[in-house]
Amino acid sequence: MPTTLACEAMTDAAWRTAGVYPIPGDWPAISLRQPVELTVELPERGLRLIFQREGDEPAWFFPTLNALAKVLALPSNWDSYGGRSTDLRAFSGALHTLDRVMGKDTTVPTVVPTAEGGIQLEWHARGIDLEIEIPPTGPPYVYCQNRQNNTEWEGGLSTNLEQLRGVVSGLSLHR
């Protein structure tokens, strides 16, 4: 089932009125309700992201969403080299990409910020190195090296979608 994303932009005054303050430690603030709805609050960026999903949750969904939220919460210059904060378009693009390619039992990807404000999703398992870069603008780009069958390929997500789905299915937790 596809994930629905709603984004509410709030002013500092609205956050204070709502009683939402930065949470020390392992933030951003994440809350979960039934039916499956996840809220990620990023007061320093003036955002509240609300995710809704129907049906059974795949094992990768919440750990990956949590990692994506942490990357989204990074400030400008997060890498001390002028790295841009993660763009909401890259965040949304990452969710859309995951919905298109992930199976129910796919291994959780590593979520990495890019210096340009994008997100990179990575898997390095079972002899497969798979990287999907989601820039703030433009289409996602895929790189794959499969040492199991000695293949290597790269290109745009849309032109390699079926090939990518095949590689991702090879990253299943129960293979």
* Per-residue model confidence as pLDDT tens digits over 117-140: 999 999 999 899 999 999 999 899
Share of the chain above pLDDT 70, in %: 73
* Residue 15 pLDDT: 39
Q: Specify the number of domains making up the chain.
A: 1
**Highest-confidence range of 16-30, 35-49, 60-74, 147-161, by mean pLDDT?**
147-161
The model's pTM: 0.77
* Residue 54 pLDDT: 65
The pLDDT of 38-62, averaged and rounded, is 73
In a domain, 25, yes or no: yes
The domain in which residue 78 lies consists of 4-169
Q: Model confidence at 52, in pLDDT bands (50, 70, 90)? A: low
In a domain, 104, yes or no: yes
Answer with the residue of higher pLDDT: 73 or 175.
Answer: 73
In a domain, 76, yes or no: yes
| pLDDT of 35 higher than 60 | no
* Residue 6 pLDDT: 45
Answer with the residue of higher pLDDT: 137 or 47.
Answer: 137
**HSE on the CB side for 16, CA within 13 Å?**
3
In a domain, 175, yes or no: no
Measure the CA–CA gap between 31 and 38, rounded to whole angstroms: 6
In a domain, 174, yes or no: no
In a domain, 63, yes or no: yes
By mean pLDDT, which of 41-55, 67-81, 130-144 is the weakest?
Answer: 41-55
In a domain, 102, yes or no: yes
In a domain, 17, yes or no: yes
Q: Say if residues 108 and 60 touch (Cβ distance below 8 Å).
A: yes
